[in-house]
Structure 1
Amino acid sequence: MPLDLCDHESKTRQAVQVFWKTRNAAKEKQRKTGKTDRGERASVTGGKNMDGFSALIVDLVKANGLPGAEIHQHRAVLTLPGYFRPTKRWDLLVIDKGRLVAAIEFKSHVGPSFGNNFNNRTEEAIGTSHDLWTAYREGAFGEQARPFVGWVMVVEDAPGSRAPVKDKSPHFPVFKDFVGASYLDRYDVLCQKLIKEQLYTSASVIATPRTAIRDGAYSELSSMTGLRSFFASFAGHIATVAAR
């Protein structure tokens, strides 16, 4: 049976629109109440801006053989045990018959300052996956096949994320794939390496301008880190679990 990607391109455009609309609504709400966060944080603390992407994941689970799986999206039931720390809260979990099928993180990075958060996002992504796989090795989830572990990053498509970035490394040279790379390029390199090092089953980054609130426009950086590859990998994993 072929994989069902659930018209992912159209639904991704809808998810992108939800992303920008929800961010704007959160900022407007805080402005009206007078309880504003600094900078872009006001549009993040609303907590619903990635719901469109979560909805597409739910569709993929149901369409590829696990319609009865438990799909957790609420904070109270998103915690998994860790190895280096007691617990970690994920953004979406899929559990079927007591087995962890998938754990996914949805992240975003919006300007105007792109330099402040890239390293933090990188360290968080690496630490989160290493912690989970070590806990898996040590039997935290019981005897089961490897789960799908995914990481999705939505980055604002803007001059600041597209411009080349200079680095200072006075003692040893920076790896060539980072030399002159923009922050969007760096996220692409990061996702490729997260996959190659098997830290994540699949990792994806897309770029979207603020004007996408009207049409859901987005672009991918490479075929390896595009959403089609991510969704195909995820759907394949769901189908494999369903076939067991």
Structure 2
Amino acid sequence: MTSAHLWQTSRPRFWMYVLGPYAVGLAALKSPSVFYSPLALLFLIYFLLPANLLIYGINDIFDYETDVRNAKKRGYEGLVPPDARKPLVRAIALTNLPFFAVAWFLPGAAQRALLAFVLLSAFYSAPPIRAKARPFLDAAFNALYLCPGYVAYFLAGGKEFSLPTLFAGWAWVMAMQAYSAVPDITADTESRTFTVATTLGLRGTLLLCLALYLTAAALAFPAIHWLALPLGLVYATLMLLSLRAGTEEDVMKLYKNFPLINTFCGMALFFAALL
């Protein structure tokens, strides 16, 4: 595969989904100097292309039969044909294994968070678990996007964490996964890939997302205070607009703004954590 193919496979528009939690985790202890530590800088690099190539490369390796039916893969995302699988596996290994070796120098809790990230990322798409084809487990496995935050938090010296904040983040990323599955309902149904969205349908999934985002805002309130209100309102508004849209095609038009919305909301969380 060419470097351009690898870049496309890593989904640069989604890089902030792992880099953002990592930055928030570093900021949580309100010690800016930690950003300049060698390990922090090294894993900041990891949570750019290598980590995203792990997530989405494995996804594309095991999803070709579904992807060829999915209009989202023609233009908005790439399509990895079977003959590109071996080169992609090599690229994933070459970009990830050096960081796994350096993980020996991380605190034990950060190592465990990194291991959770790798396992959740791999088995979201790969058999024997293939969580993405198991309704509700698919959304639960999106906890992988929380793991970089905990890698950073423990790397920075954190010892304890709030369970309500953990469950707030989990509700948020579950909603993110379920919403992302809505434009794929038809393609997933045709390929017999059963997801939370194919199970609940478009309207039911959007209502679940709305409930999860409101739950996340309520659980996060003790940690981020007033910021929980506008963040909750942003996502609730997006879900209501999607419900009003009413079709996969119209939801897809709104969904194309989703990475940008997540990026701005993540920046708000970062500055709230740092300040």
TM-score by length of 2: 0.32
Bigger strand fraction: 1
Structure in which a larger fraction of residues adopt helix: 2
